Amino acid sequence: MECADNPRNKCAACYRQFNRMEHLVDHMRTSFHSVHEPTCGVCKKHCRSFESLREHLIGPLPKQECRNVFNIRGCKFCLAILDSPYALRGISAYMANLGLRDSLTIDNGYSRGPQVVALACKTVGGGSDRSLDLCARVCIIDENENIIFHTYVKPPIPVTNYRYETTGIRPEHLRDAMPLRQVQRKVQEFLCNGEPTWKIRSPKGGKARILVGHGLDHDLDKMQVEYPPIMIRDTAKYPPLMKTSKLSNSLKYLTQAYLGYDIQNGIQDPYEDCVATMRLYVRMRRQFHRRQDNPLASDPQNRNNFASWRQNELERMSPEEMLAISRSDYYCWCLDSA
């Protein structure tokens, strides 16, 4: 019988202790620990999300040593441990005046690396119960937060609730607005950037644009736009930004917690949402993680890393050796800058 506090049975990532080595192997098989997980800058513990890391550092029951260091040199937004207290800097937000704009263009040549744009739309209500979401306003910005496209959208069916308190949209805004079908065509062509949808297989080497947003399944559905998931970066679905319960955080919360300012107070501006999602994406993309060949657990080269037929071999490995062959089950956005 192996001792419960045997360091050989302790996960090298999350530090969970197991009674038997076979239990640790089972844990590594399903946990998908990797260099891409949020990690404590003090004890190096791997956490599944930044919310888990936040609880570890400053939650109701934090690790005392880590909390003490974090209170002195920790950034409450990125949760990193900085070199000194003087390295801490506040994050300022700026906004731009919003006017109708249409600068959607298709590039003739390939740019250096994939272009990144953020999209947000606001909906009004339709149907007899006024609960049917109808796209009524769309905004797209580039990585420098410049507006590329902004328009009101005329829905294909009558609007029964303008939801003015949150959208700021009035009937006169939609009376002569761009029809939904035209918006759908323009946005689809802009995102694909001259590349057929069926041909888009990777964010690297093609012309199609990386699309950033929050709740993009909803926004694209209401715009009737289809876009390959491999090109989508959704802050509502990105595992490091989700709750410990694996549910989505609101964009309002993510912006306050990780960017340090408030949005969506009163009338909601799609440009404001675009800026917030773009800043979150850029912050996640700039995470420094050790480069690995074949970084995903789904890569063919990694599919047998923890295969059941390797059980005996895996049980002879050290926890550190198992962590070295473990790979992430999600695409880390830092790979966009690789």
What would the two tokens of residue 16 be? 């969970």
Q: For residue 200, what pLDDT is reported?
A: 84
Identity of the amino acid at 283? R
Q: Is the pLDDT of residue 85 over 70?
A: no
Rounded to whole angstroms, the Cα distance separating 295 from 291 reads 8
Q: What is the mean pLDDT of residues 192-197?
A: 87
The model's confidence at residue 87, banded by pLDDT at 50, 70 and 90, is: low
Condensed to tens digits (0 to 9), the pLDDT of residues 166-178 reads 999 999 999 999 9
Computed over every residue of the chain, the mean pLDDT equals 89
Query: According to the model, what pLDDT value does residue 95 have?
Result: 36
Tell me if 328 sits within 8 A of 298, measured CB to CB: no
pLDDT of residue 83: 80
Residue 249 has phi, psi (to 5 degrees) of -85, 155
**b/e code 77-96 from CB counts within 10 Å (16+ = b):** bbbbbbeeeeeeeeeeeeee
Give the range among 125-139, 197-211, 213-227 with minimum mean pLDDT: 197-211
Q: Which of 177-186, 290-299, 304-313 has the lowest mean pLDDT?
A: 290-299
**Residue-by-residue DSSP string for 138-171:** EEEEETT--EEEEEEEE-SS-EEE--HHHH---H
Band of residue 93 on the pLDDT scale cut at 50, 70, 90 = very low
Residues with Cβ within 8 Å of residue 203, at least 6 apart in sequence: 114, 210, 230, 231, 336
Alpha helices in 151-267 (DSSP H): 164-167, 171-175, 180-192, 216-223, 251-258
Paired strand residues for 232:
211
pLDDT average, residue stretch 306-315 = 95
Model pTM? 0.89
Structure confidence at residue 97 as a pLDDT band (50, 70, 90): very low
Residue 7 has pLDDT above 60, yes or no: yes
Kindly report, residue by residue over 264-294, the tens digit of the pLDDT: 998 999 999 999 999 999 999 999 899 988 8
Q: Are 22 and 311 in contact (CB under 8 A)?
A: yes
Q: 190 and 209 in contact (C-beta within 8 Å)? A: yes
Only one residue has tokens 């070199």, namely 83
| Rg (the chain; Cα; Å) | 23
For residues 183 and 179, what is the distance between their CA atoms, to the nearest angstrom? 6
**Helical packing angle, 50-58 and 64-73, nearest 10°:** 100
What is the Cα–Cα distance from 203 to 116, expressed in whole angstroms? 10
Tell me how long the chain is.
338
Per-residue pLDDT tens for 108-120?
Answer: 544 555 699 999 9
237 sits in the region (left: phi over 0; alpha: psi -120 to 50; else beta) called: alpha
Contact 122, 137 (CB under 8 A): yes
Q: pLDDT above 70 covers what percent of the chain?
A: 88
